Structure 1
Amino acid sequence: MQNLTALSLKTEQGKLQVLDQTLLPHRQQWLNCATVAEMVGMIKKLQLRGAPAIGIGACLLLAVRAEQGVSREQLRQDAEILRAARPTAVNLMNNIDSMLKALSEPDYANAAVACAEALFFEDVALCQQMAGHGAALVQPDEQLLTHCNTGGLATAGVGTALGVINLAHQQGKNIRLWVDETRPLLQGGRLTAWECQQLGIPYQLICDNMAAMLMARGQVDRIFVGADRIAANGDFANKVGTYSLAVLAQYHQVPFYVVAPHTTVDLNCPDGSVIPIEQRDGNEVRGVSGGFGQSIWAPEDAPVFNPAFDVTPASLVTGWVLDTGVYSKADIASGVLKQFA
């Protein structure tokens, strides 16, 4: 396998390494990933996160193991274990399906390596295409807002929503960005803020519950978020808190865009009600933990409801920014997403 490098993934001399995102922004530590159990653990702990990055990371591991001589049957079993690691992120399922096809080839090891490399480079290209389409929507001097982390840490390329924002910044549009902290795991505060500093994007970090006030004051011109799965009718699942932003955006008449590659579209989901929503450990809400340590502020046995994602209905979306273009509500209603069958 050739050496590949992304912000959160890299392969060197036939070995896979993952940047531990739970230690950011204060520590950058690369972890070796050689087994399926290690990959599943990294995904569940969110050491590796972001729908595209999860799918690509899982496939790179399968390719590394194929190159090491692991049997076809074992790799198929590995693939099914990896598929179940993050139920909401459809990119993982789609990428695993591609790898399973490769594993059916007579020379399955070389086919698996070629497939994983192709998926990596495909995502890089898709990110560039999304960035171009989305940045064209941004006007000079606009104040933008985003939620969670959708940059290079979440993909093999420049990112989805943050890729759009970064390109608008590179184009000299004099933008400013409001970054939601993104409770309960603070991906905005820990990760997006870190990426913005690396990229030189002017930003301010806000608590999630401050977005409404900013919109009411006219200090948000446009919102860009990512997606982990888009249903056939345009409903989409994204990090919990996205739905709230969409409701606020409609009330305040702020354009609201979802940015994702076409590989995030799941035509097997007719609408958002059938998208599986991952429930996570209650300790994530009772307190906070990361490279800075751990703090618990709630009673240790406090009952917790902790969905990792929520579903935003298509009726609240201004436009869907995919690698193939920008689509309106009318486009979605006409069934434009069926082209990705």
Structure 2
Amino acid sequence: MQRDARFLQAENVRLSENGDSVIIIDQTQLPGAVKYLELRTDVDFYDAILKLKVRGAPAIGICAAFGYYIMARRIAEADPVCGYEEFCHRLQDRKEYLNSSRPTAVNLSWALNRMEETLRNHEEASLQEILEILEEEAIAIQQEDIEMCRKISGYGLSLLKDGDGILTHCNAGPLATSVYGTGLGPLILGREQGMNFHVYSDETRPLLQGARLTSYELQKAGIDVTLICDNMASLVMKNGWIQACLVGCDRVAMNGDVANKIGTSGVAILAKYYGIPFYVLGPVSTIDRTCSTGADIPIELRKPEEIKEMFYEKPMALSEVKCYNPAFDVTDHELITAIITDRGICRPPYTQSLAALFGVETPNRSVE
């Protein structure tokens, strides 16, 4: 298949040249080493998503879409004369298995559902034609993400000034998407245009993605970055060093509540207190139209070892000490200055501005 040149710009998640596997950067190895993994089976994809070898809501969705295609290809190779309904049934089982890997990021289920809908829309096609169609759809999902990231970055940059101090939490750069990123996209785009920012990157517990990934990406992009511990955010705000907070998102409810990496809510509360704009950036695919409020968002709980043992030579707590280790929290819509999407900047009230993104006419749309 002749692939768009833009497709080749994304190196963190990509289809192999012969199309029989997916190649990802193993984000658990960064920043110490850049290692690539080849995913071939449903277990490979499940493990990569569960263990955050690939992470970031858009990147998870892209990986899942490619995974769906690869799983379809495996079924067809094992049984070339498989009937359409049996083919769909076998693929449905693998889809549900992959979808169970992480519950919070809506892009996972969104991408898998989109691939399944594509399959169901081509019942009359041959098995070979279906595989080609699914491959094209997965590539389209990634190419759309590239364009969405460019648009989000442009909208976000319009809210910033040269020389601004920025606080970010977790990682929402190219590694979490395709190019530019969401939360980091305006900074990278601005740097390309000659603008300068000073970014304070929260280390972001429990997996230190701000330390390992965000500071890595910003440093490589030539952006002035200072790594801080999560509990230092209040001080740098009080010192007047922060003019805006930029974060990504894993799921957005229709009232504007947002799920993002644990600690995001605390940053938003501090920003509100110090009068600092708090911006959430993400593609429209991250908005869950079935989710009314943040109370409806499932929160993933992870193993206590990630707090007590990971990144340490020796355990930092007694083995019998209990741990509460949620991967995400929900930031209340009242704390959010704007939600920046690929279709525009949404302002409060979010029940109206988010609905307007989907063509639902309401008074006071509040979309720029």
TM-score range for the pair, normalised by the shorter chain length: over 0.9
1:336 deviates by: 3.4
Matched residue SS, 2:37 = strand
1:42 deviates by: 1.0
Matches within 5 A, 1:75-224: 75-104=91-120, 105=122, 106=125, 107-224=129-246
Task: String of CA shifts for 1:149-176, please: whole Å, max 9, x gaps.
Answer: 1011101222101111211222222211
Q: What residue number does 1:39 align with?
A: 45
Q: What residue number does 1:337 align with?
A: 355
8 Å Cα contact 2:256-2:354 kept in structure 1: no
After superposition, the CA RMSD in angstroms is: 1.6
Which amino acid is 2:253 matched to? Answer: A
8 Å Cα contact 1:237-1:309 kept in structure 2: yes
The answer on 1:27 being equivalent to 2:33 is yes
Which amino acid is 1:161 matched to? Answer: G
Separation (CA, whole Å) in 1 of partners of 2:97 and 2:88: 15
1:7 deviates by: 3.5
Which amino acid is 1:274 matched to? Answer: D
Which amino acid is 1:30 matched to? Answer: Y
Change (3 A) 1:41 1:336: closer
Separation (CA, whole Å) in 2 of partners of 1:333 and 1:67: 41
Higher strand share: 1
User: Residue 326 of structure 2 is aligned with which of 285, 296, 307?
Assistant: 307
Separation (CA, whole Å) in 2 of partners of 1:130 and 1:81: 31
Which amino acid is 2:34 matched to? Answer: Q
Which amino acid is 2:282 matched to? Answer: A
Task: String of CA shifts for 1:289-318, please: whole Å, max 9, x gaps.
Answer: 3xxx75421111210000000000100001
Q: What residue number does 2:362 align with?
A: none
Aligned residues: 337
Share of identical aligned residues, percent?
39
Moved more, 156-165 or 303-312: 156-165
User: Residue 228 of structure 1 is aligned with which of 250, 254, 259?
Assistant: 250
Change (3 A) 1:241 1:2: farther
8 Å Cα contact 1:265-1:340 kept in structure 2: no
8 Å Cα contact 2:62-2:111 kept in structure 1: yes
Tell me the TM-score normalized by structure 2: 0.88
Larger radius of gyration: 2
User: Residue 15 of structure 2 is aligned with which of 6, 11, 17?
Assistant: 11
User: Residue 340 of structure 2 is aligned with which of 311, 318, 321?
Assistant: 321
Change (3 A) 1:247 1:206: same
Give unmatched runs, 5+ long, in structure 2.
78-86, 360-368
8 Å Cα contact 1:286-1:302 kept in structure 2: no
8 Å Cα contact 2:42-2:71 kept in structure 1: no
Which amino acid is 1:277 matched to? Answer: I
Matches within 5 A, 1:248-327: 248-289=270-311, 294-327=313-346
8 Å Cα contact 1:267-1:338 kept in structure 2: no
1:287 deviates by: 2.8
1:205 deviates by: 0.5
1:264 deviates by: 0.4
Which amino acid is 1:207 matched to? Answer: C
Task: String of CA shifts for 1:53-78, please: whole Å, max 9, x gaps.
Answer: 11110111221333452544322221
8 Å Cα contact 1:232-1:338 kept in structure 2: no
1:46 deviates by: 0.7
Q: What residue number does 2:81 align with?
A: none
The answer on 1:55 being equivalent to 2:61 is yes
